[in-house]
Amino acid sequence: MTFLLQTTRLKLTELEGSDVQFVFDLFNDPDCIRFIGDRGIKTLVNADNYLQNRLINSYRTHGYGLYKVTLKAEDTPLGICGLVKRDKKNPPDIGFAFLPEYRSQGYCTEASKAVLQWAKEINISHTILAYTNPDNITSIRVLEKLGLQKQQITTLPGQDFESLVMSIKLS
């Protein structure tokens, strides 16, 4: 664990190989599948591959990624929050997903604020995007609380559903 970001209640750390069950549980949550998409994680082997090749690999490839969110006093994962680099031409986007029992408690907003502040401090990009399902009112509210503004609705490459694109300028 090399990355550590702390808030009043939370800590954000890099995901590790031991987080396979958490990744499996998170990406098989019906709301996660509905709003983020089915990542094809049907077994723990699938979860391990996704964890290693997509989530952990992002730290090495881009210097950032999605981080495990836990309470400061515990190591139980609540969710993930961080930045995703989808392609070379677009700025990174903020992403998050929390297990059902940890939603509606302000954890997502708290973690996301910390990620945006960190991104600003280390000058990752002047602009941060967000992509969300246009029907995901809860995520849209969180993104608006963070200061992101709606830009357009589009279909991203490789997806068969529309995404609302939001953005914020970090200055």
Rounded to two decimals, the pTM is 0.92
pLDDT (0 to 100) of residue 85 = 93
Number of domains in the chain: 1
Mean pLDDT in residue range 80-100? 94
Burial classification of residue 168, based on how many CB atoms lie within 10 Å of its CB (0-12 exposed, 13-18 middle, 19 or more buried): buried
Burial classification of residue 53, based on how many CB atoms lie within 10 Å of its CB (0-12 exposed, 13-18 middle, 19 or more buried): exposed
Nearest to 20 by CA among 10, 12, 28: 28
161 neighbors 132 (Cβ within 8 angstroms): no
Residue with the bigger pLDDT between 111 and 159: it is 111
Are β-strands 77-84 and 66-71 bridged in parallel, bridged antiparallel, or unpaired? antiparallel
- In this predicted model, what pLDDT tens digit does every residue of 126-159 receive, in sequence order? 999 999 999 999 999 999 999 999 999 988 777 7
Q: Return the CATH number at 108.
A: 3.40.630.30
pLDDT (0 to 100) of residue 154 = 86
pLDDT class of 68 with cuts at 50, 70, 90: very high
Domain that holds residue 124: 4-169
pLDDT (0 to 100) of residue 2 = 65
